[in-house]
């Protein structure tokens, strides 16, 4: 077994992991970053999910490095893609003109920009990236992690890594059970959290649905895939709370739970610059084709794109038959989630009602080249909910709920290390819950949510921070995950420089002030400006 050492080990190369590695490397630390899949970037790339962001993202409410990523994506399109002059001049270019985000784009572009951001540190040798590797074991000494064993995904190779600080940026908090770190899964009880939306009893295996996304275009010809083996089951599948078959245009409205019917019209002749992707004004999911469209053909010169490209991350691909964390049949559930996605595609191609009264869209073509996979689907499942550390401070619904906080706004934490904004948006769950949607205030991220109650040198760097099942629904999105990872990387550097623990930094007013000044200087926004009408 190969032994490697660094100042900071970051396990997991999603958005939080990349941000953590970048922050630590920029601070002068030697960093090892591991990632299980072929692309860095997690939910933005290998999971193929366009960024879910708040309405003010173009002005404020993100770290400087996250803004660097967003600007880099737009610049990449301007430098390398055949945009029309009108689209090239569009300051807030939305390449896909999707309604879900002001920056819908092809995942491969985000990969390229992330690699560009990391390139100077890889070139200097300060950053080593291990792909495709996943954690399989860990060594501890009391309350410290002393080493992590990484296994190659495709062959029998293992690497042991030792580092004074270990950051868990995996999508499901894989290091927490491996290191014996105390953690929570699923739904906490109301007695535990006091949350208005929590159940009477804890439900640790009740977790949000996972989704296996895929990209489509619509061109001439018949591109129908082979009938999936499980198609009959999914075609007839009708959850009790859904109001119709899962494979239909009808589904619950996330906020009202009223059964609504959506439309599907490939390649509408719409004006990309006419799309106003502001979720406050319009959720944008009326026509599923344009909802998460990642390439709008009218943004490009005539003939460059024969079709729009849309990303399927729709209600009908949410898999909630069983959890994929802390169960012996997790791999089976993940395989069934993929089977559901193939079944949705086959239904779209063969049986989906069309506006003209016919059925099926055989011109829909699976674009595995866009998602970087050989099987046509996203490389990785979209994981909405992770294991979560038992933290020094756990963010609860009462901290940010608009109904609870009202005009007071979300809680201002003395140890704020960032900001975020997203409604508490929970998808149907493995416990049979429908959508849970709770209005929220623009919120802050407390440092206490990044510090385990016991472990001294293990830090969460993604969705595994100290939130609840409910507040995870707000804290799980792209810019917040990046913010958490970036601060975790900066915290590791700060602690190494001063010989202090993360717990001491939070508990000592002088150290906390020094650290918050440090992250502010790095471009981390700790407080929201006064905002009206959220």
What pLDDT, in 10s, does the model give residues 206-241? 999 999 999 999 999 999 999 999 999 999 999 988
What per-residue confidence (pLDDT) applies to 352? 98
What per-residue confidence (pLDDT) applies to 532? 66
| E strand or H helix at 73 | helix 64-80
**Are 21 and 354 spatial neighbours (Cβ–Cβ below 8 Å)?**
no
pLDDT at 120 over 70: yes
Segment 431-453 shows an average pLDDT of: 97
Q: Which among 396, 406, 426 is positioned nearest to 257, based on CA atoms?
A: 426
What pLDDT, in 10s, does the model give residues 415-426? 999 999 999 999
**Are 53 and 60 spatial neighbours (Cβ–Cβ below 8 Å)?**
no
Q: Please name the residue that has the structure tokens 């689907």.
A: 377
What per-residue confidence (pLDDT) applies to 411? 97
What pLDDT, in 10s, does the model give residues 280-304? 877 778 899 999 999 999 999 999 9
**Are 169 and 11 spatial neighbours (Cβ–Cβ below 8 Å)?**
yes
pLDDT at 331 over 80: yes
- For residues 283 and 286, give the distance between their C-alpha atoms in angstroms, rounded to a whole number: 8
pLDDT at 392 over 70: yes
pTM > 0.95? yes
Q: What percent of the chain has pLDDT over 90?
A: 95
What per-residue confidence (pLDDT) applies to 530? 84
What per-residue confidence (pLDDT) applies to 338? 98
Segment 116-125 shows an average pLDDT of: 98
What per-residue confidence (pLDDT) applies to 282? 78
What residues have CB less than 8 Å from 445, skipping those under 6 apart?
A: 413, 416, 417, 418, 419, 420, 465, 475, 480, 483, 484, 487
Overall residue count recorded for the chain in this entry:
534
Strands 309-312 and 293-295: antiparallel
Please state which of the ranges 60-64, 273-277, 372-376, 464-468 shows the lowest mean pLDDT. Answer: 273-277
CATH topology of domain 2-50+105-187+384-521: FAD/NAD(P)-binding domain (3.50.50)
What per-residue confidence (pLDDT) applies to 36? 98
What per-residue confidence (pLDDT) applies to 243? 85
What residues have CB less than 8 Å from 530, skipping those under 6 apart?
A: none
Q: What is the DSSP secondary-structure string of 79-130?
A: HHS-B-HHHHT-TT--TT--SS-TT---HHHHHHHHHHHHHHHHHHTSEEEE
What per-residue confidence (pLDDT) applies to 30? 98
Delimit the domains of the chain by residue range: 2-50+105-187+384-521, 210-267+307-371
**Are 223 and 216 spatial neighbours (Cβ–Cβ below 8 Å)?**
no
Segment 377-393 shows an average pLDDT of: 98
**Are 35 and 129 spatial neighbours (Cβ–Cβ below 8 Å)?**
yes
What per-residue confidence (pLDDT) applies to 477? 95
What pLDDT, in 10s, does the model give residues 402-412? 999 999 999 99
What per-residue confidence (pLDDT) applies to 533? 64
Identify the band that residue 534 occupies on the pLDDT scale cut at 50, 70 and 90.
low
The DSSP bridge partners found for residue 162 are: 5
DSSP label of 208 = B
- For residues 509 and 503, give the distance between their C-alpha atoms in angstroms, rounded to a whole number: 12
Segment 128-136 shows an average pLDDT of: 98
What residues have CB less than 8 Å from 325, skipping those under 6 apart?
A: 172, 185, 207, 385, 386, 387
What per-residue confidence (pLDDT) applies to 278? 86
What residues have CB less than 8 Å from 59, skipping those under 6 apart?
A: none
Segment 49-69 shows an average pLDDT of: 97
Q: Please name the residue that has the structure tokens 């270990």.
A: 166
**Are 170 and 33 spatial neighbours (Cβ–Cβ below 8 Å)?**
no
pLDDT at 390 over 80: yes
């Amino acid at each position: 077994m190969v032994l490697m050492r660094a100042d900071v080990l970051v396990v997991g190369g999603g958005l939080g992991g990349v941000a953590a590695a970048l922050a630590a490397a920029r601070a002068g630390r030697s960093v090892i970053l591991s990632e299980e899949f072929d692309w860095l970037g997690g939910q933005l790339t290998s999971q193929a999910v366009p960024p879910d962001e708040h309405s003010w993202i173009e002005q404020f409410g993100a770290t400087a490095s996250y803004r660097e990523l967003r600007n880099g994506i737009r610049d990449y399109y301007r430098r390398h893609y055949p945009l029309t002059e009108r689209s090239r001049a569009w300051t807030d270019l939305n390449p896909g003109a999707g309604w879900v985000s002001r920056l819908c784009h092809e995942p491969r572009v985000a990969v390229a920009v992330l690699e560009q951001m990391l390139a100077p540190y890889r070139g200097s040798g300060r950053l080593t990236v291990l792909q495709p590797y996943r954690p399989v074991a860990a060594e501890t000494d009391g309350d410290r992690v002393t080493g992590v064993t990484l296994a190659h995904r495709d062959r029998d190779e293992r690497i042991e890594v030792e580092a004074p600080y270990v950051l868990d940026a995996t999508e499901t908090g894989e290091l927490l059970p491996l290191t014996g770190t105390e953690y929570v899964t699923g739904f906490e009880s109301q007695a535990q959290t006091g949350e208005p939306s929590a159940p009477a009893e804890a439900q640790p295996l009740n977790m949000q649905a996972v989704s296996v996304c895929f990209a489509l275009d619509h061109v001439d010809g018949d591109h129908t895939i082979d009938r999936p083996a499980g198609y009959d089951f999914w075609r007839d599948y009708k959850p009790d709370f859904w109001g119709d078959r899962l494979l239909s245009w009808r589904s619950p409205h996330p906020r009202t739970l009223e059964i609504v019917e959506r439309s599907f019209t490939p390649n509408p002749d719409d004006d990309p610059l006419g799309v106003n992707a502001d979720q406050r004004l319009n959720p944008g999911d009326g026509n599923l084709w344009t909802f998460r469209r990642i390439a709008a053909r009218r943004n490009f010169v005539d003939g460059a794109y024969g079709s729009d490209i849309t990303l399927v991350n729709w209600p009908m691909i949410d898999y909630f038959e069983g959890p994929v964390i802390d169960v012996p049949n997790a791999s089976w559930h993940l395989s069934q989630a993929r089977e559901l996605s193939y079944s949705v595609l086959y239904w779209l191609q063969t049986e989906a009602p069309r506006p003209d009264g016919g059925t099926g869209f055989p011109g829909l073509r699976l674009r595995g080249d866009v998602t970087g996979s050989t099987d046509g689907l996203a490389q990785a499942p979209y994981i909405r909910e992770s294991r979560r550390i038992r933290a020094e401070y756990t963010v609860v619904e009462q901290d940010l709920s608009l109904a609870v906080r009202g005009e007071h706004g979300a809680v201002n934490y003395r140890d704020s290390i960032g900001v975020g904004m997203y409604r508490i948006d929970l998808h149907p769950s493995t416990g049979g819950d429908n959508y849970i949607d709770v209005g929220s205030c623009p919120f802050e991220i407390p440092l206490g949510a990044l510090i385990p109650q016991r472990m001294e040198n293990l830090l969460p760097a993604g969705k595994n921070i100290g939130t609840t099942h409910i507040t995870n629904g707000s804290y799980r999105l792209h810019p917040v995950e990046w913010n958490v990872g970036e601060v975790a990387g900066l915290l590791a550097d700060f602690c190494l420089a001063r010989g202090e623990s993360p717990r001491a930094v939070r508990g000592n007013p002088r150290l906390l002030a020094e650290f918050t000044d440090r992250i502010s200087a790095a471009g981390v926004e700790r407080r929201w400006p006064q905002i009206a009408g959220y």
